[in-house]
Amino acid sequence: MTEETDDGDLAALARPYSWTEGRTQPTVELAVEARVRTTPRGRRLPRRLTDAMWTVTELCARPSSVAEIAAHLSVPLGVARVLVGDLLEEGLVVVEATLSDDAGTDERRQLIERVLSGLRAQ
């Protein structure tokens, strides 16, 4: 690997963390399977193709899991959680419940299958 490639790899890794100002922990607890949906206020965000927050609100016009968001943006799961947490605090997205505490094995398996299917579709 050349030095130029190493620098490019480092820049690519640093970019997502610049979106979160270096934060790796979201302000709210978010499960990887949590479904995120854009609110009417979030749909009114001005279009900015280079803005990760705008991209997430566009992606979540159709509910998407936190894992799907991470896969779509090609970022670590922690970065996706921070972005979603920030959007949630601003009222630009809502997080829909995925499973109740008393969910059975079949419900949990179906949820995992849906998340995996969504990830494969990316």
Question: Domain limits of the chain?
Answer: 22-121
pTM: 0.69
Q: Write out pLDDT tens, residues 3-57.
A: 444 544 434 445 666 666 667 677 788 888 889 999 999 999 888 867 888 999 9
Three-class secondary structure assignment of the chain: CCHHHHHHHHHHHHHHHHHCCCCCCCCCCCCCCCEEEECHHHHCCCCCCCCHHHHHHHHCCCCEEHHHHHHHHCCCHHHHHHHHHHHHHCCCEEEECCCCCCCCHHHHHHHHHHHHHHHHHC
